[in-house]
């Protein structure tokens, strides 16, 4: 099966601007219930996945989180120099409150916040030891451009770690689409108590999303080394991609 068939005919390389603008509105509407819906739709695995990604950082490292959303991941980055990037001013406002208060409770200074898209990161080359992307890669308008920018801002020898909904192949993608269209919709309906909740639209980003093999190839084309991208067990609901920027 081709990569297009795994997305029901959509282009896995990106999302057009109109669809992305609508998606951003839906993401902002999801903020009040974001963590709770994630928790139930993943059987609590979201916390395990976040810890898995966090464990790639070592004390004192410079970290960039691309697509930080409301700060669900960044608040638990301890002992690190953290920069949170997101295109949504509202997401950044919520993240700043949450992340900086968690940091203050640990005696740490505030994180830095950047309003931008992954495809155009307004930060210098060779800056970060790690770039993390959790559940935001799927939303990039242009996946390759986003990866090129992440590659540029990583220090030589630095690593990117991406965690997002898993799609191993066409068959797995079909199972995921059914899950998103049924169980996730019921959970979101119960939690939000709204008929027109944002997860109606958010499920669509999974349909557009490509397979692990497709994005492993894009990462290699961008220049990442030791590229890996596989489903996280035991449930296979999410995938983790890793790659290094070559040392000079
Ligand atoms: C589902 S939230 C993820 C939040 C958080 N990272 C987490 O661990 O739950 C996705 C975020 O990606 C952001 N996003 C969407 N398109 C983006 C892009 N092109 N570049 C960077 N971030 C983007 C959205 O604004 C949103 O805040």
- For 245, the token pair is 């920027």
Q: Which of 51, 53, 67, 114 to mutate to test the pocket of ligand 1 (most atoms within 8 A of CB)?
A: 67
Nearest atom within ligand 1 for CA of residue 163? 8
Could you give the CA distance from residue 215 to residue 228 in angstroms, rounded to a whole number? 10
What per-residue confidence (pLDDT) applies to 211?
93
CA of 118 to the centre of ligand 1 (A): 9
- Asked if 231 and 165 touch (Cβ cutoff 8 Å), the reply is no
pLDDT tens-place string over residues 220-235: 999 999 999 999 988 8
For ligand 1, is residue 87 a contact (CB within 6 Å)? yes
Q: What is the mean pLDDT of residues 214-225?
A: 97
Nearest alpha carbon, ligand 1 atom 4: 69
pLDDT tens-place string over residues 52-94: 999 999 999 999 999 999 999 999 999 999 999 999 999 999 9
Q: What is the mean pLDDT of residues 125-148?
A: 97
Q: What is the mean pLDDT of residues 139-164?
A: 97
Q: Can you say how many angstroms the Cα of residue 49 is from the centroid of all Cα atoms in its chain?
A: 11
Could you give the CA distance from residue 129 to residue 206 in angstroms, rounded to a whole number? 29
> What is the helix (H) or strand (E) element at residue 225, kind and residue range?
strand 225-231
pLDDT tens-place string over residues 165-205: 889 888 888 888 888 889 888 999 999 998 889 888 888 88
CA of 233 to the centre of ligand 1 (A): 23
Could you give the CA distance from residue 32 to residue 45 in angstroms, rounded to a whole number? 20
Question: Can you list the alpha helix ranges (DSSP code H) found in the chain?
Answer: 3-6, 17-30, 34-41, 45-54, 89-105, 143-153, 170-181, 183-192, 199-208, 212-222
Q: What CA dihedral angle connects 177, 183, 184 and 189, to 10 degrees?
A: 140
Tokens 């896995």 belong to: 12
- Asked if 148 and 121 touch (Cβ cutoff 8 Å), the reply is no
pTM for this one?
A: 0.94
Q: Which CATH number is associated with domain 17-33+48-167+212-244?
A: 3.40.50.150
Average the pLDDT over each of 9-13, 102-106, 153-157, 163-167 and give the range with the smallest value: 9-13
- Asked if 242 and 220 touch (Cβ cutoff 8 Å), the reply is no
Q: What is the mean pLDDT of the chain?
A: 92
Q: Which residues of 202-227 are buried (b: 16+ CB within 10 A; e: fewer)?
A: bbbbbbbbbbbebbbebbeebebeeb
What per-residue confidence (pLDDT) applies to 11?
79
Nearest atom within ligand 1 for CA of residue 202? 1
What per-residue confidence (pLDDT) applies to 1?
40
């Amino acid at each position: 099966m081709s990569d297009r068939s795994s997305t029901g005919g959509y282009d896995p390389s990106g999302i057009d601007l109109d669809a992305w603008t609508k998606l951003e509105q839906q993401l902002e509407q999801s903020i009040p219930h974001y963590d709770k819906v994630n928790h139930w739709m993943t059987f609590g695995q979201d916390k395990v996945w976040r810890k898995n990604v966090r464990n790639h950082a070592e004390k004192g490292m410079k970290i960039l989180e691309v697509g930080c959303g409301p700060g669900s991941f960044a608040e638990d980055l301890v002992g690190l120099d953290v920069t949170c990037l997101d295109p949504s001013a509202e997401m950044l406002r919520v993240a700043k409150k949450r992340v900086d208060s968690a940091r203050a409770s640990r005696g740490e200074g505030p994180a830095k916040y950047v309003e931008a898209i992954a495809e155009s990161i307004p930060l210098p080359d060779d800056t970060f030891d790690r770039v993390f992307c959790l559940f935001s890669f799927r939303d990039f308008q242009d996946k390759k451009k986003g990866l090129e920018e992440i590659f540029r801002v990583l220090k030589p020898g630095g690593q990117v770690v991406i965690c997002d909904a898993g799609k191993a192949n066409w068959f797995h993608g079909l199972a995921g689409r059914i899950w998103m269209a049924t169980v996730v919709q019921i959970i979101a309906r119960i939690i939000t108590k709204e008929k027109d909740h944002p997860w109606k639209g958010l499920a669509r980003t999974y349909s557009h999303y490509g397979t692990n093999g497709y994005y492993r190839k894009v990462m290699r084309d961008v220049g990442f080394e030791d590229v890996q991208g596989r489903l996280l067990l035991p449930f296979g609901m999410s995938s983790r991609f890793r790659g290094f920027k070559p040392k000079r």
